[in-house]
Amino acid sequence: MESTPPTEVREELGTLLNEVHEHDLPHCSTHGDKLADVVCAECGQFFCWGDVSFQANAAQFVCDPCREKRSIRAARRSFWGWLKEPFFYVGLSVVLATVAYVLGVGNPSPEELARSDRQKPWYLRRAGKLWLAQADRAKARISILDAAGRADDMKAWAALAARALGQAATQWKGTEAEPDLRLGEAMMFLKAGKAQKAFDMLIDLEDLIHPEDALWCYYLHCRAKAALALGKTRLAEEHWRIMLATVEQAETSRNSLFGNMLDPLMDFYSKDRAATLCLHKVRSVCGTAMPLRQLREEAIREMRRSGLAIPPSVFDRSLQLDFGEPQPEAEDKPEPEDDEAPAKPSKKVVIERF
């Protein structure tokens, strides 16, 4: 049988064990009054459980200071690793190019373009094309706002389009595109609610556009619309009457019809193709390339809307049907007399099955 040691022996043994633990076993580097439980794999110092963390990927214990140093080293290695990748420099170049474009770095101003292109032909001057493209974008925005019923925004964009067309006309002053640009500028001012300014501009264009020009009919139409916006109905009616008479005379003339078909071909082959294409673009943006028939129909529509009398000389059957005039009732056919044989009914073929 094992005997239990006396109390004095147990107390002495406990004291000896405590002295061994205190002097031989290591203590925590952070908490000196606690015994160490684990060794850090990085620095090799002793720590208690509360001061270390277990790294599962490496199966080791690391103290908190070493863990922070390891994360800093990993971040540095990842940063320098990014710098070694090719796509990093590609993305950086795209970002820098975008910032430079937004800030206008390296983009020449319209004044610089005008100075550098002064000796070039008018259709190769980049400043005029730049303003024309801006006017085209503004007109596209105007169509969207008009369809949405946002009148105030539409007027603001119409003023921007008028300014752009005016700048393009200044860049191409003295060329064949200037009358079209000035007419487009006036109509944009009219759409922007500045009827008086548009009317004054059209009056100033009277010396630039002559009755024998192709723009004469459209010019009269623009003057009539501007006069009507100012409440000058008599003047508007007079301009439209002159325009309709001119259109009717041009349409009934065989020589004029042949010329309308031949002139575009002659222009295309006799001039530089770049000049022809540029002029067509200008007329498309300004709206001056409207055919005579379409111009006549629009003028009659405006006159009817305003309650103005249409000249009888331009009233034909086709327009009567287009604008909703009452059609004459069909004449009643006389009933056949008794001695006349009634018409035989036509045979009807009925398909019952295939």
> Is pLDDT at 198 greater than 90 in this prediction?
yes
Cα distance between residue 43 and residue 41, in whole Å: 6
pLDDT given for residue 11 in this prediction: 61
Q: Bigger pLDDT: 71 or 333?
A: 71
- Indicate the pLDDT class of residue 199, thresholds 50, 70 and 90: very high
Question: Mean of the pLDDT values across residues 252-260?
Answer: 53
- Indicate the pLDDT class of residue 25, thresholds 50, 70 and 90: low
User: How is the chain split into domains, by residue range?
Assistant: 10-72, 110-322
- Tell me what percent of the residues of the chain surpass a pLDDT of 70: 69
Question: Mean of the pLDDT values across residues 248-261?
Answer: 59
> Is pLDDT at 234 greater than 80 in this prediction?
yes
> Is pLDDT at 112 greater than 70 in this prediction?
yes
How is residue 72 written in tokens?
A: 């800093």
pLDDT given for residue 50 in this prediction: 75
> Is pLDDT at 345 greater than 70 in this prediction?
no
pLDDT given for residue 339 in this prediction: 47
- Indicate the pLDDT class of residue 263, thresholds 50, 70 and 90: low
> Is pLDDT at 85 greater than 90 in this prediction?
no
Cα distance between residue 14 and residue 11, in whole Å: 5
pLDDT given for residue 269 in this prediction: 55
pLDDT given for residue 29 in this prediction: 76
- Indicate the pLDDT class of residue 14, thresholds 50, 70 and 90: low
Question: Mean of the pLDDT values across residues 272-281?
Answer: 84
Q: Bigger pLDDT: 150 or 311?
A: 150
Distances 208 to 33, 46, 116, 173, 203 between C-alpha atoms, Å: 104, 98, 28, 12, 10
Q: Bigger pLDDT: 166 or 351?
A: 166
| 3-state secondary structure string across the chain | CCCCCCHHHHHHHHHHHHHHHHHHCCECCCCCCCECCEECCCCCCEECHHHEEEECCCCEEEEHHHHHHHHHHHHHHHHHHHHCCHHHHHHHHHHHHHHHHHHCCCCCCHHHHHHHCCCCCHHHCHHHHHHHHHHHHHHHHHHHHHHHCCHHHHHHHHHHHHHHHHHHHHHCCCCCCHHHHHHHHHHHHHHCCCHHHHHHHHHHHHHCCCCCCCCHHHHHHHHHHHHHHCCCHHHHHHHHHHHHHHHHHHHHCHHHHHHHHHHHHHHHHHCCHHHHHHHHHHHHHHCCCCCHHHHHHHHHHHHHHHCCCCCHHHCCHHHHHHCCCCCCCCCCCCCCCCCCCCCCCCCCCCCCCC
> Is pLDDT at 318 greater than 80 in this prediction?
no
Cα distance between residue 313 and residue 260, in whole Å: 22
> Is pLDDT at 19 greater than 70 in this prediction?
no
Question: Mean of the pLDDT values across residues 240-251?
Answer: 83
- Nearest to residue 185, comparing CAs of 139, 241, 127? 139
Query: pTM (2 decimals)?
Result: 0.59
Mean pLDDT over the full length of the chain: 77
pLDDT given for residue 108 in this prediction: 72
> Is pLDDT at 301 greater than 80 in this prediction?
yes
pLDDT given for residue 168 in this prediction: 93
- Nearest to residue 48, comparing CAs of 19, 71, 26? 26
